[in-house]
Amino acid sequence: MRKAPQQARSREMVERLVAAGRTVLVERGYDAFSTNRVATVAGVSPGSLYQYFPDKAAILDVVIDRYWEEVAERVAASLADRIGTFGPDMVRDTADALLSALEADRELLRVVAEELPVQRSRERRAALERRVRELAATYLAARPEATRRPEPAVAAWVVVLAIENLAMRWVLDQPAAVGRDQLLDEIVALVGGYLLS
């Protein structure tokens, strides 16, 4: 961002521009994303936009940061709420929270996962994975009966990436042969089988 908004009116303008950026990204895709389109959707002049954002990359960064923060908050909250519990319900609830977070804006997920250059969201996605992985490793280290895997951090890495990738593909692909509850059952079986083998 070019300048941090100080007054309520300026903060409202930035929020309107970010919301418009999200709308343009979802409706038009990455290739058609432009500052002029964002300004038009926000109902402001391009000059007003440039007071806060030097270019389209700056708007994209805020939109993508916020998206991954929303996903991370939902998943981390679910996992943190269950850190003292043990069993398949924790895995299922955490996977369900991830699915819900990804489903909340399926079209933005599609653009982020399939249209943006990898480097635009790699660090943000890695931050989400790291945050959830740290919580999972803490859980596994505190509950040695939860796994037979020798290293909690390694087990957490495997589990988090498996769940994340399955959830993302399911949300994006919407396979007719796999219902939501069925996917959650399969994730629980996969994680349980891995952790206890």
54: helix, strand or coil: coil
pLDDT reported for residue 132: 82
Reported pTM: 0.82
172 and 76 in one domain?
A: yes
Same domain, 94 and 72: yes
Give residue 35's domain range. Answer: 8-54
| One domain for residues 13 and 86 | no
Residues 40 and 120 in one domain: no
pLDDT of residue 84: 63
Quote the pLDDT of residue 32: 95
**Is residue 2 one of the residues assigned to a domain?**
no
Which residues of the chain have a pLDDT value below 50? Answer: none
Q: How far apart are CA 182 and CA 176, in angstroms?
A: 11
Is the same domain home to 39 and 89?
no
Q: Could you give the dihedral angle defined by the CA atoms of residues 142, 82, 106 and 69, in that order, rounded to the nearest 10 degrees? A: -70
Q: Does residue 3 lie in a domain region?
A: no
Q: pLDDT digit string (tens) for 3-23? A: 666 678 888 999 999 999 999
3-state secondary structure the chain: CCCCCCCHHHHHHHHHHHHHHHHHHHHHCCCCCCHHHHHHHHCCCHHHHHHHCCCHHHHHHHHHHHHHHHHHHHHHHHHHHCCCCCCHHHHHHHHHHHHHHHHCCHHHHHHHHHCCCHHHHHHHHHHHHHHHHHHHHHHHHHCHHHCCCCCHHHHHHHHHHHHHHHHHHHHHHCCCCCCHHHHHHHHHHHHHHHHCC
Based on the fold, state whether residues 46 and 72 are members of the same structural domain.
no
Q: How many domains does the chain have?
A: 2
